[in-house]
């Protein structure tokens, strides 16, 4: 049976909407009273598992799920061995460098050598500053990263930004964008090659639906 890893949080609702549009109905996950982490699709065609967004590529890479939906930011950070199939077009955000609005830093190159940068996206932050040939100390934080510059722990942060409202409310401002991120459909590479559980049919349906939705938006 096809198993799909669905992300908890902000991507869940749109993920379920998209899957339902091609015949895979996991709407029961949206019921606030439902505490199940694994359910069958309403028609019994597939199984859905609801996991932390950062765990989606892990379940897919190790084959416990053949398909998954996850943000591109997670894929760039974790670099899992999965097949990236379709940009789903929702969950848009960006990975940015931000500093205190009152600081004199207008770009990352203005930051002092060996300064401290706080981030939960440690690999993305390290890769970015290495590409600038700017040595910095990356401080891993997994809570309110915005507190880094506010408390003086760090000169800057690298974090996901959607609307920018949280940064503004905390007196921070973006000075660079590392990349844009949207939700991606991913697959276990071996299952994809072997077309396990007829997954290619579902992938094609999803790809066609996404193309249709994007065409409708443009139109």
Could you list the mean pLDDT of each consecutive 10-residue stretch along the chain, which spans 219 residues?
Answer: 95 96 94 90 90 97 97 96 96 97 96 96 97 96 93 96 94 97 97 93 95 75
Residues 205 and 195: their CA atoms lie apart, in Å, by: 14
Q: 169: which residues sit within 8 A by CB, 6+ positions away?
A: none
Q: Please indicate whether the domains covering 2-91+182-218 and 93-181 agree at the CATH topology level.
A: yes
| Cross-strand pairs, 113 | none
2-91+182-218 classified as CATH 3.40.190.10: yes
Provide the pLDDT for residue 218: 56
Q: What is the pTM of this model?
A: 0.91
Question: What is the rounded end-to-end Cα distance, in angstroms, of the chain?
Answer: 37
Q: Is the dihedral of CA 149, 171, 73, 59 positive or negative?
A: positive
Q: Give the relative orientation of helices 199-218 and 12-21 as an angle to the nearest 10 degrees.
A: 110
| CATH number for the domain formed by residue range(s) 93-181 | 3.40.190.10
Provide the pLDDT for residue 217: 64
Q: Which of 34, 14, 8, 185 is nearest to 90 (CA)?
A: 14
What own/partner pairs with CB < 8 Å and gap ≥ 24 does 36-44 have? none
| Cross-strand pairs, 49 | 5, 38
Q: Which DSSP category does 193 fall into?
A: H
Provide the pLDDT for residue 93: 96
Provide the pLDDT for residue 5: 98
> What are the domain boundaries of the chain?
2-91+182-218, 93-181
Q: Residue 117 in contact with residue 143, Cβ under 8 Å? A: no
């Amino acid at each position: 049976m096809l198993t799909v890893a669905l992300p908890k949080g902000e991507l869940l609702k749109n993920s379920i909407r998209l899957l339902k549009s091609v015949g895979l109905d996991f709407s029961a996950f949206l019921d606030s009273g439902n505490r199940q982490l694994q359910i069958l699709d309403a028609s019994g065609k597939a199984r859905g598992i609801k996991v932390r967004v950062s765990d989606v590529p892990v379940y897919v890479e190790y084959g416990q799920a053949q398909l998954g939906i996850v943000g591109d930011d997670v894929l760039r950070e974790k670099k899992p061995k999965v097949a990236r199939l379709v940009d789903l077009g929702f969950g848009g955000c960006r990975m940015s460098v931000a500093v205190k609005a009152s600081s004199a830093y207008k770009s990352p190159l203005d930051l002092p050598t060996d300064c401290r940068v706080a981030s939960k996206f440690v690999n993305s932050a390290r890769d970015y500053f290495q590409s600038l040939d700017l040595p910095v100390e990356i401080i891993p934080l997994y809570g309110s990263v915005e507190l880094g510059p506010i408390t003086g722990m760090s000169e800057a942060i690298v974090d996901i930004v959607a609307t920018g409202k949280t940064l503004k409310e905390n007196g921070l401002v973006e000075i660079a964008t590392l990349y844009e991120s949207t939700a991606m459909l991913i697959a276990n590479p071996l299952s994809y090659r072997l077309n396990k559980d007829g997954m290619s049919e579902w992938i094609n349906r999803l790809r066609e639906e996404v193309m249709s939705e994007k065409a409708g938006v443009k139109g």
